[in-house]
Amino acid sequence: MKYRMKAKFEKEREEPRNCNPLPSSNSIFEVTLRLDRPHVDMNAATSTCRKRDLTGLPCCHVIGCSTWLKQDVEDLLHPFFKKKKYTQVYQGAILPCQG
C-alpha cells in the first residue's frame, strides 16, 4: 500500500475507539460516533457516509463494526491496495514505444 493511503488507513483505524456499533442484524449496524449515526452493511463493508465508495478504504464506522465482530480489518481493504493485485496488474511486459 502506498505510504499516503496507508497513513489515511492508520488514521481511520484510530477513530473507532469512540464508535458504538448497535447491531440490527448479523451484518447491519447503526454506529454512533459523536453526533453522527450512519448505517453499516458488513456484507459489502459499506457505510452510508460513503467514504469507502470514494477512497476504497474502509471508514472508521466499518472498522468499528469489524472490531466489534472480531474480524480482521485488513480483509476489508479493496483488492486494489494489495500486493497480489499490484503484481497481477504489472505481470505482463510493457513494450517499448517508438518515439
Q: 54 in helix, strand or coil?
A: helix
Nearer to Zn ion, 45 or 61 (CB): 61
**Considering only residues 47, 58, 64, 65, which one is a binding residue for Zn ion as defined by CB under 5 A?**
47
57's grid cell:
478504504
CA 63 to chain centre: 7
Among 49, 57, 65, 77, binds Zn ion (CB under 5 A): 49
59 binds Zn ion (CB under 5 A): yes
Binding region for Zn ion (CB under 5 A): 38, 47, 49, 59, 61
